[in-house]
Structure 1
Amino acid sequence: METECTEDSILRITTENITLKQQVHQLTDGNQKLDDRLKAARSNVRFHERRIAELEVQLLDSTDRS
C-alpha cells in the first residue's frame, strides 16, 4: 500500500516529532530531578536513623548508670 506524502502531512509529522522530542526531554529532566530528590531523602533518613540509634545508646547508658 503506497501513500503519497503531501507537504502538509510531512509538516504535520515533523511538527509532532519535534513536540514529542521536547516532551521526552522535559520528562527526562523531571525524572532526573525526582531521582535526585529521592536520593537526598534517603540520605536524610539514613542520617536520622543513625542519630536515633546514637541517642538510644546514650539513653541506655544513662539508665544503666542510675
Structure 2
Amino acid sequence: MTDDGNTYQGSAAIERWLNRPAAEFAYTIHLTDAQETDTAHYTATPHLEGNFPGGRPAGTQSHFSLHPRR
C-alpha cells in the first residue's frame, strides 16, 4: 500500500504503519455509510479529514466479518 509518500509492502510493514502513533496527526472521522453484505459481513465507509500529508479529505471502506464467540 502507499500512504504519506511511502510504499509499505508485506504484512509486517503494513502493521508498523497501522501502529504508528495516532498523535502524529489531528483528524476527525465520521461514519457516512454502513452496509450489510450478508448475515455475517459488513462494509463501513467513513469520511476522514485531518492535517495528514496531502490534507485532502479521504474516503475509505472497511470490510468486517462477524463471528459468534465460542
TM-score normalized with structure 2 length: 0.20
More strand by share: 2
Q: Decide which structure has greater helix share.
A: 1
Larger relative contact order (Cα-Cα within 8 Å, sequence gap ≥ 6): 2
What TM-score, normalized to structure 1? Answer: 0.21
